[in-house]
């Protein structure tokens, strides 16, 4: 029979053991070792970071220009910081790649997979501005492709393309002869503004532009637009697209930001410039660069307005280089295009280089504005989503995307050196590391090795930044957006068929019942019954299936994943395995 002393000793040992376990658990949680989600109070950032994107930027243009004494602001970052190749991944489409850059996930995880699913509502994971804003840290975001509709941030956001309905009846504009203008033979976009157009252009000299002036569309209640015009020849004018400027299209967060910026700039803020799909028409090269540059200047001035404020993270993507490289690349590489018009090549050979010079100037102004403020030191990261090369189809005198883009890292602690090749998914982990924040263990990327070596801090990780409160969807862009993308030169063919989306929904639902239509017998390809929503109207979508359990990273051995303790009120959810059926992507551009 156990004595009282022995029973007392056993109770004492159990009590001590319990105390040791509680203490150990407290230490582990304090150290962040067992924390499954990044809590909203996690890690105060150690540095401010400015990220400047050059859509389509390539060292094949930048390095020769720097060697010739040009691009002084980029050259300073290049000479004083880390530089290397940032390799893109297919499909090399701007919204897809920029979403990878600013989430750390590849497209099969983040959900923006092609032009059909190229809006912020298609994204299934947190972007870096969401991670940063969640911690109540000032974040300003400008012109990042794939960010429309805009989302709330702890700062401001101006959406990048594609945007639905930002122009009316065309994305390149229209060339009119004097006879056509006098007779009123024009597209619907300009028909109700003909008197204003005639008045504005009557005294224009060849090569001159009008200021912005209003355009109207009486058939569309509430529509307010703006346009410009250029005199191409004594008997010919160019009209820009009619850009929508009223509050009916929301392109900013907060909603009234666009109007306030337009007032400050004293000209309308244009979120989406002209397209290049009509590159082969004889007059396009005469006006396109100039108007692309006008829109770029507006966007850059808007970003400049906020460069000197107290942001912690500042993002601005400049799209001029990409927009110019597509239609003008051949003129700067005439030997690659045997059938090219040599006279045009001589006239427009500097257009691509001019786009780089304009981007370098804007970049320099933004950095200088930030440096002149009293908000503290910061680092600069410059990235591109892809490079450019001559098209393999020599019958088309356009430039084509190349996987090799650029990266530059400059700031306190960064040594001047040429870095190893990095990948687009490495950008967000690198930014998180530079700001002193942990990297999501479920992210596909990793911090750039030279950055971690230079700064010398340990790389901290958390299992995930996903709290289960973001659900992207696979719903295709609407017809208006598709037509806009076609006008911009990025897609061909008819708008995405609603039947394709409905079939996917049908395959995910028992009984063959599809919201908005009834597919008889649950057979693929069966015709919709009477009462179905027409193709040009949105169809109500069923809620996506509940995501599957997160898949473990392939580089982790089975059974070795860390234990998770979920902070109260948060539900951890890795985005892996959360995918719904996808629409095949266009990879032609």
Q: Can you give the three-state secondary structure of 452-469, one letter per residue?
A: HHHHCCCCCEECECCCCC
> Are residues 354 and 411 located together in one domain of the fold?
yes
Q: How many structural domains comprise the chain?
A: 2
> Are residues 361 and 451 located together in one domain of the fold?
yes
Closest CA to 265 of 158, 359, 129: 158
Task: Tell me the whole-structure pTM to 2 decimals.
Answer: 0.78
pLDDT at residue 506, rounded to an integer:
56
pLDDT at residue 68, rounded to an integer:
98
* Cα–Cα dist 128/430, whole Å: 11
E-strand spans in 55-97? 82-87
> Are residues 68 and 88 located together in one domain of the fold?
yes
pLDDT band at 169 (very low <50, low <70, confident <90, very high): low
Rounded to a whole number of angstroms, the CA Rg of the chain reads 27
DSSP state of 37: B
Flag whether 128 is in a domain.
yes
- Is residue 240 scored above 70 in pLDDT? yes
> Are residues 227 and 244 located together in one domain of the fold?
yes
> Are residues 329 and 439 located together in one domain of the fold?
yes
Last residue of a domain, one of 251, 270, 289: 270
3-state secondary structure of 351: helix
3-state secondary structure of 418: strand
Closest CA to 96 of 122, 114, 108: 114
E-strand spans in 274-386? 313-318, 378-383
Query: Which residues touch 493 (CB under 8 Å, ≥6 apart)?
Result: none
Flag whether 205 is in a domain.
yes
* Cα–Cα dist 529/580, whole Å: 26
- Could you tell me which residue, 71 or 33, shows the higher pLDDT? 71
Closest CA to 102 of 364, 480, 465, 586: 465
The H or E element containing residue 326 is helix 320-332
- Could you tell me which residue, 509 or 240, shows the higher pLDDT? 240
Exposure b/e, 192-228, CB count within 10 A at least 16 = b: bbbebbeebbeebeeeebbebbebebeeeeebbbbbb
Mean pLDDT (whole number) for 537-542: 31
Query: Which residues touch 238 (CB under 8 Å, ≥6 apart)?
Result: 173, 174, 175, 176, 229, 230, 232, 283, 286, 287
> Are residues 211 and 252 located together in one domain of the fold?
yes
Lowest mean pLDDT among 64-68, 173-177, 260-264, 507-511: 507-511
pLDDT at residue 155, rounded to an integer:
97
Q: What are phi and psi of 470, to 5 degrees?
A: -120, 125
> Are residues 366 and 431 located together in one domain of the fold?
yes
* Cα–Cα dist 149/249, whole Å: 9
Flag whether 68 is in a domain.
yes
Closest CA to 456 of 447, 443, 465: 447
* Cα–Cα dist 69/86, whole Å: 24
Flag whether 87 is in a domain.
yes
Neighbours of 87 (CB within 10 A): 17
Whole-angstrom CA distances from 137 to 17, 40, 146, 349, 476 are 42, 11, 22, 45, 33
Lowest mean pLDDT among 229-233, 439-443, 559-563: 559-563
How do residues 138-147 score in pLDDT, each as one tens digit? 999 999 999 9
> Are residues 336 and 253 located together in one domain of the fold?
no
- Is residue 400 scored above 60 in pLDDT? yes
3-state secondary structure of 50: strand
- Could you tell me which residue, 67 or 279, shows the higher pLDDT? 67
> Are residues 88 and 219 located together in one domain of the fold?
no
Last residue of a domain, one of 254, 270, 286: 270
Whole-angstrom CA distances from 254 to 61, 144, 222, 264, 315 are 37, 16, 20, 16, 16
E-strand spans in 196-326? 213-215, 225-227, 229-233, 236-239, 242-244, 252-253, 313-318
Average pLDDT score over the chain: 80
> Are residues 257 and 311 located together in one domain of the fold?
no
* Cα–Cα dist 110/127, whole Å: 9
* Cα–Cα dist 150/142, whole Å: 10
pLDDT band at 297 (very low <50, low <70, confident <90, very high): very high
> Are residues 329 and 416 located together in one domain of the fold?
yes
Which residues form the domain of 192? 164-270
Neighbours of 587 (CB within 10 A): 12
DSSP state of 121: G
- Is residue 432 scored above 50 in pLDDT? yes
Terminal alpha carbon distance of the chain = 85
Report the CATH number that the domain containing residue 78 is assigned in CATH: 3.40.720.10
Last residue of a domain, one of 429, 462, 495: 462
Flag whether 433 is in a domain.
yes
Helix locations, 373-495, DSSP H = 427-434, 449-455, 479-488
Q: Could you write out the DSSP letters of every residue in 488-547?
A: HTS--SSPPPHHHHHHHHHHHSGGGEETTEE-GGG-TTPPPPTTPPPTTS--PPPPPPPP
> Are residues 129 and 211 located together in one domain of the fold?
no
Flag whether 508 is in a domain.
no
Flag whether 12 is in a domain.
no
What percentage of the chain exceeds 70 in pLDDT? 71
How do residues 485-498 score in pLDDT, each as one tens digit? 455 444 455 666 44
Residue pair 117/583 in contact (Cβ under 8 Å)? The answer is yes
Lowest mean pLDDT among 6-20, 56-70, 278-292, 508-522: 508-522
- Is residue 585 scored above 80 in pLDDT? no
* Cα–Cα dist 555/149, whole Å: 35
- Is residue 298 scored above 90 in pLDDT? yes
Flag whether 539 is in a domain.
no
Neighbouring-strand partners of residue 141: 157, 315
pLDDT at residue 472, rounded to an integer:
60
pLDDT at residue 103, rounded to an integer:
98
pLDDT at residue 164, rounded to an integer:
79
């Amino acid at each position: 029979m156990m004595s009282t002393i022995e029973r007392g000793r056993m109770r004492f040992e159990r009590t001590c053991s319990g105390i040791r376990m509680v203490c150990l658990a407290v230490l582990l949680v304090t150290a962040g070792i067992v924390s499954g989600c990044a809590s909203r109070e996690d890690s105060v950032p150690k540095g401010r970071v400015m990220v400047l994107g050059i859509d389509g930027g390539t060292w094949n243009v930048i390095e020769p220009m720097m060697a010739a004494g040009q691009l002084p602001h980029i050259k300073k970052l290049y000479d004083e910081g880390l530089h290397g190749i940032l390799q893109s991944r297919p499909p090399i489409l701007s919204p897809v790649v920029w979403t990878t850059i600013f989430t750390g996930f590849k497209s099969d995880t983040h959900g923006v997979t092609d032009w059909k699913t190229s809006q912020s509502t298609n994204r299934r994971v947190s972007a870096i501005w969401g991670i940063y804003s969640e911690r109540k840290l000032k974040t300003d975001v400008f012109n990042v492709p794939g960010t429309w509709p805009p989302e709330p941030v702890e700062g401001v956001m101006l959406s990048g393309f594609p945007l639905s309905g930002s122009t009316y009846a065309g994305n390149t504009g229209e060339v009119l002869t004097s006879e056509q203008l006098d007779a009123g033979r024009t597209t619907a976009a300009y028909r109700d503004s003909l008197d204003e157009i005639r008045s504005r252009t009557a005294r224009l000299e060849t090569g001159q532009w009008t200021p912005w002036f209003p355009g109207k569309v009486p058939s569309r209640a509430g529509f307010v637009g703006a346009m410009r015009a250029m005199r191409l020849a004594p008997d010919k004018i160019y009209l820009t697209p009619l850009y929508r400027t009223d509050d009916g299209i929301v392109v900013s967060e907060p909603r009234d930001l666009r109007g306030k910026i337009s007032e400050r700039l004293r000209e309308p803020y244009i979120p989406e410039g002209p397209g290049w799909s009509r590159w082969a028409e004889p007059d396009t090269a005469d006006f396109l660069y100039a108007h692309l540059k006008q829109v770029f200047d507006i966007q850059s001035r808007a970003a400049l307005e906020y460069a000197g404020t107290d942001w912690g993270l500042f993002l601005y993507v400049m799209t001029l280089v990409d927009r110019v490289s597509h239609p003008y690349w051949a003129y700067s590489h005439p030997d690659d295009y045997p059938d090219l018009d040599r006279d045009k090549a001589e006239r427009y050979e500097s257009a691509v280089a001019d786009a780089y010079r304009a981007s370098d100037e804007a970049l320099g102004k933004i950095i200088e504005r930030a440096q002149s403020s009293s908000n503290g030191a910061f680092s600069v990261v410059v990235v591109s989503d892809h490079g450019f090369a001559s098209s393999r189809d020599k019958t088309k005198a356009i430039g084509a995307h190349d996987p090799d883009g650029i990266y530059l890292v400059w700031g306190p602690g960064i040594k001047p050196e040429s870095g190893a090749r990095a990948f687009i998914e490495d950008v967000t982990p690198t930014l998180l590391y530079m700001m002193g924040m942990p990297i999501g263990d479920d992210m596909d990327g990793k911090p750039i090795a030279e950055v971690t070596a230079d700064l010398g801090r340990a790389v901290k990780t958390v299992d995930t930044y996903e709290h289960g409160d973001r659900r992207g969807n696979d719903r295709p862009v609407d017809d208006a957006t598709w037509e806009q993308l076609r006008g911009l030169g990025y897609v061909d063919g008819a708008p995405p068929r609603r039947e394709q989306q409905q079939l996917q929904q049908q395959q995910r639902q028992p009984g063959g019942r599809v919201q908005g239509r009834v597919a008889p017998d649950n057979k693929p390809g069966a015709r919709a019954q009477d009462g179905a929503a027409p193709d040009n109207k949105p169809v109500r979508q069923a809620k996506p299936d509940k995501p599957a359990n997160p898949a473990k990273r392939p580089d982790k051995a089975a059974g070795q994943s860390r234990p998770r303790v979920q902070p109260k009120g948060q539900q951890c959810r890795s985005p892996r395995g959360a995918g719904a059926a996808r629409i095949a992507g266009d990879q032609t551009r």
